[in-house]
């Protein structure tokens, strides 16, 4: 039994990474039939239904009642709602919009800049400080973003898409930091369930458009929307929480760095879309910079200040 748990944790992390990688492709595909807000509402509505089943079964097996987690109260509720609106609602709408102007690979590369933003925000606003390693990683990753931004326009990318992709990264980083604080008051499954529920409520204004667009969308695009809700949202977050509860966060950080590379390959195979060579180079620099900040690549430093490793380790690339 002691040997099986780490294996199951690794499997759970791999399932999460695979589903998050596929979600960039599904967003790009479903964007042909759904507007950004409608796709976000449909995805989150499906996710809530799936989470009721998943979380209910898990809680019942653990002997917990009721099936769904109790609603947090006070400050905990405010934090969960805040991160749910920023991450699940606004971030999802912006990312959907970005992928109407970007190929899936470039979108994944830009979103991967979020861990760097988490480090900067935590250092500036949470008093976590900066280390030499962190500063070097930030510089390398920023150079990568510059290359992505100036990497040329084409049929699958434009300046609006780049701006939206970077906005999505900012929203993602904000959601991670708020979630970090929220997890000090509630467990991961509770935060996920009620965070998604807050996201659904925030995207209700898009419900009429979603209903209208579903009535005219082909089955393949409706299937992509359902997949986004069940797979990358409900299942992937559940498997990630499972992995984190049984393995150190640091041991799992390397897995999330694989997402952009997987997305680029899938985008090429399934959508016949690839970022420009300069954007690929920029993406590699972003990944190297993130790896430096997480300690996966050693950077010589003459002195150490306080670091933000906890925030970085929990900042996974979720679309």
Phi and psi (nearest 5°) for 296? -75, -20
| Degrees to nearest 5, angle at CA 151 with 34 and 106 | 35
CA distances from 260 to 67, 107, 198 (A): 36, 9, 28
199 near 92, Cβ under 8 Å?
yes
Chain segment 254-290, per-residue pLDDT in tens:
566 678 888 888 888 888 887 878 888 887 887 787 7
Confidence label for 303 from pLDDT (cuts 50, 70 and 90): very low
- Tokens 């039939």 locate to 33
Chain segment 171-190, per-residue pLDDT in tens:
988 887 887 788 788 888 88
| Average pLDDT of the segment spanning 232-261 | 72
What is the distance between the alpha carbons of residues 303 and 308, in angstroms, rounded to a whole number?
A: 15
What is the distance between the alpha carbons of residues 48 and 77, in angstroms, rounded to a whole number?
A: 17
pTM: 0.83
Long-range (24+ apart) CB contacts under 8 A made by 65-73 are 68/193, 69/186, 69/187, 69/189, 69/190, 69/193, 69/194, 70/190, 71/194, 72/185, 72/186, 72/190, 72/194
Chain segment 101-160, per-residue pLDDT in tens:
888 888 888 887 777 777 777 677 666 666 677 778 778 877 887 787 776 655 566 788
Token duo for residue 294: 């997480």
Confidence label for 3 from pLDDT (cuts 50, 70 and 90): very low
């Amino acid at each position: 039994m002691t040997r099986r748990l780490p294996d199951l944790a690794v499997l759970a992390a791999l399932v999460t990474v695979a589903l998050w990688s596929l979600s960039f492709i599904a967003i790009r595909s479903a964007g042909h039939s759904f507007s950004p807000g409608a796709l976000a509402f449909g995805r989150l509505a499906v996710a809530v239904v799936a989470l009721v089943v998943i979380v209910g079964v898990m809680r019942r097996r653990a002997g917990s009642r009721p099936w769904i987690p109790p609603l947090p109260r006070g400050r905990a509720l405010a934090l969960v709602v805040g991160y749910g609106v920023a991450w699940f609602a606004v971030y999802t709408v912006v990312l959907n919009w970005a992928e109407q102007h970007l190929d899936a690979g470039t979108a994944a590369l830009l979103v991967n800049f979020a861990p760097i933003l988490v480090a900067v925000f935590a250092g500036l606003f949470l008093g976590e400080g900066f280390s030499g390693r962190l500063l070097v990683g930030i510089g390398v990753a920023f150079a990568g973003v510059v290359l992505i931004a100036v990497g040329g326009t084409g049929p699958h990318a434009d300046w609006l898409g780049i701006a939206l992709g970077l906005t999505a990264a900012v929203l993602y980083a904000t959601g991670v930091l708020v979630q970090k604080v929220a997890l000090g008051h509630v467990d991961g499954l509770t935060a996920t369930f009620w965070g998604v529920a807050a996201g659904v409520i925030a995207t209700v204004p898009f419900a009429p458009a979603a209903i209208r667009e579903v009535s005219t969308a082909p089955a393949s695009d409706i299937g992509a929307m359902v997949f986004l809700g069940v797979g990358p949202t409900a299942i992937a977050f559940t498997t990630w929480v499972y992995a984190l509860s049984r393995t150190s966060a640091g041991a799992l950080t390397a897995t999330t760095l694989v997402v952009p590379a997987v997305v680029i390959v899938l985008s090429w195979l399934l959508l016949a879309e690839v970022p420009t060579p300069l954007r690929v180079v920029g993406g590699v620099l972003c990944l190297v910079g993130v790896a430096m900040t997480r300690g996966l690549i050693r950077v010589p430093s003459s002195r150490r200040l306080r670091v933000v490793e906890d925030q970085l380790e929990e900042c996974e690339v979720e679309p």
